[in-house]
Amino acid sequence: MALKAVYDTEDAIPEAHRDLYVAKDGKHVLEVEGIETHPATTALKNALDRVKVEKRTLTEKLAAAEMRMDGLPEDFTAEEYARLKESAGDGANIDARLTAQRTQLEAKAAADLKKKDERLVLVEGALKRKSIDDGLTQALVDAGIDPKHLKLVKGYLAPRVKIEEEDGEFSAVVDTEINPHMPLGEFIKSWAGTDEGKEYIAKPTGGGAPGSDSRKGEVNPWAKETANLTQQGQVVTADPAKARRLMKAAGKSDLEIQAAGVAA
Which domain does 3 fall in, by range? 1-33
The answer to the question of residue 159 being in a domain is no
What is the average per-residue pLDDT within 65-78?
63
Radius of gyration for the chain, computed over Cα atoms and rounded to the nearest angstrom: 31
- Is residue 28 domain-shared with residue 54, that is, in the same domain? no
Neighbours of 161 (CB within 10 A): 21
Burial status of residue 28 (CB atoms within 10 A of its CB: 0-12, 13-18, 19 or more): buried
The answer to the question of residue 138 being in a domain is no
Closest by CA to 251, choosing from 216, 217, 227, 215, is 227
Least confident range of 36-45, 163-172, 186-195, 232-241: 36-45
Confidence of residue 187 (pLDDT cuts 50, 70, 90): very high
- Is residue 17 domain-shared with residue 45, that is, in the same domain? no
The answer to the question of residue 263 being in a domain is yes
The answer to the question of residue 179 being in a domain is no
Instruction: List CB contacts of 154: < 8 A, sequence separation 6 or more.
Output: 133, 136, 137, 140
- Is residue 24 domain-shared with residue 56, that is, in the same domain? no
**pLDDT reading at 146 higher than 60:** yes
What is the average per-residue pLDDT within 107-123?
82
Which of the listed residues 130, 158, 180 is the one where a domain comes to its end?
130
Q: What's the pTM? A: 0.39
The fraction of the chain above a pLDDT of 90, given in percent, is: 3
The answer to the question of residue 171 being in a domain is no
pLDDT tens-place string over residues 199-218: 888 876 544 444 444 444 56
The answer to the question of residue 72 being in a domain is yes
The answer to the question of residue 16 being in a domain is yes
Distances in whole angstroms, Cα of residue 148 to Cα of each of 220, 243, 253: 20, 21, 11
Q: How high is the pLDDT of residue 228?
A: 86
Q: How high is the pLDDT of residue 214?
A: 44
The answer to the question of residue 145 being in a domain is no
Q: How high is the pLDDT of residue 70?
A: 62
The number of domains in the chain is: 3
How far is 231 from 240, CA to CA, in rounded Å?
13
